[in-house]
Amino acid sequence: MSLAQTQGAPLARSRRLGAEISPSVAYWFALPSVALLVGTLLLPIVVMIAMSFTDYELGALDFSFIGVENYVALANDKTFWRSLGNTLYYVALVVPTSVIIGLVLAVMVQGLRRGRGFYQVAFFLPVTSTLIAMATVWKYLLHGTIGPVNHLLTAIGLPSLEFFGTPSLVMPALAIIGIWSLAGFNMVLFTSGLTAIPEELYEAASVDGIDSPVERFFTVTMPMLGPTTMFVIITTSITAFKVFDTVAVLTKGGPQGASDVLLYTNYLEGFQYMRIGVASAITVVFLGIILLLSLVQAKVLERKVHY
């Protein structure tokens, strides 16, 4: 038997085997993963949306469909609008600041010749730490009487501040914690984007007379970081919108409702007041806002992104 015949025999057998297997078999192999996806991700969302049109209370044996009454109640609820406004305020503080700090840290660390790994690990540590445990540390640091921050303010002649006890300061104080926890993660993402920029582009910029680090940054680095920047902004916005831990541990919505946020209001409705229908409606609105925000950001930023 020739070499060509020897090599062609397995190919012929595989073709016969492929002809005997029905294409529908592939769907049967995919069925377990599809069922898992539907059961763990899609079905809970569908049930939540359905529950938002009911008056179900946690532990109740029966419930009834009430249409859009929960949504109408939210539209007339001052607490809901206050929590939505506080959430938007928190996002407006955290997102741009954490993105800019993450970019600055990435550029600075990337330019180091020694100790780059140490600084990357040091700035990434807040991401690995438990935010609830660290919230207690931040509560001590920003405490109105014994906190080191207030001791520093009084040492330089400034008055001490009640960060978590003053309505106008509580959201900026919570935003500081959010920025601290997100900047390191954004730095890692930007670092990966910086390493993907070809060195030839910087050499070409030098040939064109662009030698200033600032000019190189805005001419080469920022345009090439477009896809990374878009991803960082969207993920940071979603994470900021999901603020809950620090509010639940530090302020519980106070003082005077100044730190009420959507997820904490949702938690109170569902697990304190047992009104699952209203809590489901808040969740639907919350998911809708995140989806709309992500689509708008992707649409706007994509125009300025160079792939």
- At the second CATH level, the architecture of 73-302 is Orthogonal Bundle (1.10)
Question: In degrees, to the nearest 5, what angle opens at C-alpha 43 toward C-alphas 37 and 48?
Answer: 140
Structure tokens at 23: 């294409």
Note the pTM of the prediction, 2 decimals. 0.86
Would you kindly state where each structural domain of the chain is located, as residue ranges? 3-51, 73-302
pLDDT value at position 78? 93
Per-residue confidence (pLDDT) for residue 3, from 0 to 100: 46
Burial of 250 (0-12, 13-18, 19+ CB in 10 A): buried
- Residue-averaged pLDDT of the chain: 87
The answer, yes or no, to whether residue 203 has pLDDT greater than 90, is no
pLDDT in tens, 80-96: 999 999 999 999 999 99
Compare 10 and 236 and report the one with higher pLDDT: 236
How would DSSP label each residue in 88-144? HHHHHHHHHHHHHHHHHHHHHHHT-SSSHHHHHHHHHHHHHS-HHHHHHHHHHHT-T
Question: How far apart, in whole angstroms, are the C-alpha atoms of residue 286 and residue 282?
Answer: 6
pLDDT band at 207 (very low <50, low <70, confident <90, very high): confident
pLDDT of residue 243 exceeding 90, the answer is yes
Q: What are phi and psi of 261, to 5 degrees?
A: -125, 165
Closest CA to 223 of 194, 203, 188: 194
Residue whose structure tokens are 């993920």:
235
